[in-house]
Amino acid sequence: MKNFESILISPNTNLREAISKIDTAKTKMVLVVDSDRKLLGTLSDGDIRRALLAGIEIHEPVEKFMCRTPTIALANESKDSVIRKMRTRVLHQIPIIDENGRAVDLKLMDDYVMIQERDNWVVIMAGGPGSRLKELTIETPKPMLKVGNRPLLETMVSRLVEQGFSKIWLAVHYHAGKIRNHFGDGAKFGAEINYIVERKRLGTAGAISMLPEIPSNPILVTNADLLANVDYCELLDEHVSAKAAGTMAVREFEYQIPYGVVMIENGSISRFREKPVHKVMVNAGIYVLSPEAIPRIPAQTFFDMPELFENMIAEGYKTHCHRLRCYWIDIGKYEDFCKANLDFPEVFS
């Protein structure tokens, strides 16, 4: 939801302030979190009514009467799973937490049942050869490999349409005809699909220079080799709120050094860490570009999206990052392809 931070309160927040936040946010619920944003409980309109009937004073802290065992959903849970959970328990809102129990969102039933049509164009980069998948992509372009019961690219298009995005451009090159034959004009998928045909490979951004015009609204750009249950509306809305020229979706990536790490100071061992785990933020291959960013892309030239962002930063344009906490996998290697197929029934069915 927009302005998510506005509905977070501490357990020491008094009832009066909690009522004010609920009234301002119009969510009928606030989330009670600790200093690390771990979810401690929720406070709803119903909780407040029961507290007042029980004689709770307006200045008392919410920890005395908040719900300590709310129904929650995980950030990587599929949309269908969250909807089923809400319908089964007759919920109008549900807190979303990450794998560490931190509150990351509050989803309202209206977020799922009321689709707002978006005029924003979506450009999907589907021209790569997928050479790392070897024999799998000799006759089939990587976006058309079946993950679950349908091509990977079809899952992406369907999710975009479900969220109100229907104006889609597919940038194609390798086995372009197979993609065009499957999607056609997009009508059977509820979309209006057009094609950017790359005569030579143009990287992860170059094809954008071939759009027939610069649209008046920001555009979504995504690599086609991703399986992810991204909230594209949230990404776009955050970009607009940030007033950025470009937004890059990022996600946390962990890697473990397979050796004991020795810290050395002045020739002496100061510390020793056994196989430490490092966490970094990595590019998730999904972006939003405002109209002013598009002319920064050279025409008909191999050009990758990170280079565009580096140039915009150097030229003083505002850039923004949007952190993904949902399921996401880049199908670059055979192992990724196998994992995506294993995960698909649970995450996307």
Q: Hey, what are 263's tokens? A: 């810290």
Measured CA to CA, the distance from residue 188 to residue 154 in angstroms comes to 11
Residue 272 in contact with residue 262, Cβ under 8 Å?
yes
Q: What is the pLDDT of residue 329?
A: 95
Give 268's pLDDT tier (boundaries 50, 70, 90).
Answer: confident
Q: Are 89 and 109 in contact (CB under 8 A)?
A: no
Residue-range domain boundaries for the chain: 4-113, 122-249+282-348
Overall average pLDDT of the 303-311 stretch: 97
- Categorize the per-residue pLDDT at 142 as very low, low, confident or very high, splitting at 50, 70 and 90: very high
Mean pLDDT (whole number) for 301-321: 97
Q: With respect to CATH, is domain 122-249+282-348 assigned 3.40.50.720? A: no
pLDDT, mean of residues 32-60:
92
Q: Band the pLDDT of 15: cuts 50, 70, 90.
A: very high
CA distances from 137 to 75, 178, 180 (A): 32, 12, 17
pLDDT mean over 310-339: 95
pLDDT, residue 341, reads 94
Judging by beta carbons within 10 Å of its beta carbon (0-12, 13-18, 19+), is residue 55 exposed, middle or buried?
exposed
Q: What is the pLDDT of residue 208?
A: 97
- Per-residue model confidence as pLDDT tens digits over 227-241: 999 999 999 999 999
Q: How many CB atoms lie within 10 A of CB 304?
A: 13
Rounded mean pLDDT of the chain?
Answer: 92
Q: From CA 28, how far away is CA 276, in angstroms rounded?
A: 43
pLDDT reported for residue 131: 85
- pLDDT beyond 70 at 153: yes
- The pLDDT tens digits for 74-91 are 988 877 788 889 888 888
What's the topology of domain 4-113?
Answer: CBS-domain (3.10.580)
